[in-house]
Amino acid sequence: MKDILSAPFLIEMVRTTTNMYAHGWDERNGGNISLLLDEAEVSEYLAMQPLRTLETGFTAPELDGKIFLVTGTGKYFKNVQYAPEVNLGIVRLIENGTKAELLWGYSDGGKFTSEFPAHMMSHVARLGVDPENRVVMHCHPANLLAMTYVHDLDEKAFTRTLWQMCTECLVVFPDGVNVLPWMLCGTNEIGEATAKKMETARLVVWSQHGIYGAGKDLDETFGLIETAEKAAEIYLKIAHLPLVNTITDEQMHLLEQRFGVKGREGYLA
């Protein structure tokens, strides 16, 4: 049996959480990540025998038997690199997703993030759109969060503003950004609302809170959020100034042609 700490998926999770904390996106125990794993790959490192069983508080029959690497509740991203077996866990969903078998991790008696329902519901939604989407990432980027206080929360308006801030935005997230009003976190209600938004976009902003991103791997999902956050930063730097220049819809159509992407239907003239 191989050493689990040498598993590529675990190494990348440690790198990602460390990088997210360094970016200031995950203060204290803020933020969480879940990564859908391949059972054959995991079995090279684990005996696949459950250590204990956890209640999930939701139903997700589509994920029955699926295995996830998930950050722990109350855990600080800055500590993951020092004690991954305490701050991370590998779980397998059973009984239509109502329970999860702990296969590794949470060695201090902990469990998965309180946002686990929102993550799993979002996985169901994204896998239905693109079977390659294996990551759900939640964090609190300061500029995107600040933008929800001063910008119209209409999804088309929010998306267009971000697209106009950086040339790469349309290319990186042509499906745009969906937005939820403030909702109580850690509930099935916000999980269901987020999952619904995930059906049409890989980025979902939680107003006055943070953002959810989905992608095929940790690198892509991190880059997706990073790009939107950079655009929000530029917006906040210029929002109070007279707008002299912008990226026009005509120019964005040129980007579509050049990079083989298609902006969300109805969002460009």
40 neighbors 114 (Cβ within 8 angstroms):
no
Coil/strand/helix, residue 257: helix
Tokens of 128: 């239905």
59 neighbors 95 (Cβ within 8 angstroms):
no
Alpha carbons 78 and 17: distance in angstroms, whole number = 7
- Kindly provide the b/e burial profile for residues 38-58, where b requires at least 16 CB atoms within 10 angstroms of the residue's own CB: eeeebeebeeeeeeeebebeb
Alpha-carbon distance values, 64 to 52, 82, 96, 135 (Å): 17, 31, 5, 17
Alpha carbons 75 and 97: distance in angstroms, whole number = 23
Smallest CA-to-CA distance from 179 within 149, 195, 158 is with: 158
Alpha carbons 150 and 83: distance in angstroms, whole number = 39
Alpha carbons 251 and 260: distance in angstroms, whole number = 14
Alpha carbons 177 and 155: distance in angstroms, whole number = 6
End-to-end CA distance of the chain: 57
Smallest CA-to-CA distance from 184 within 194, 195, 174 is with: 194
Say which of 12, 44, 62, 115 is annotated catalytic: 115
Catalytic residue at 41? Answer: no
Q: What are the residue numbers of the active site?
A: 115
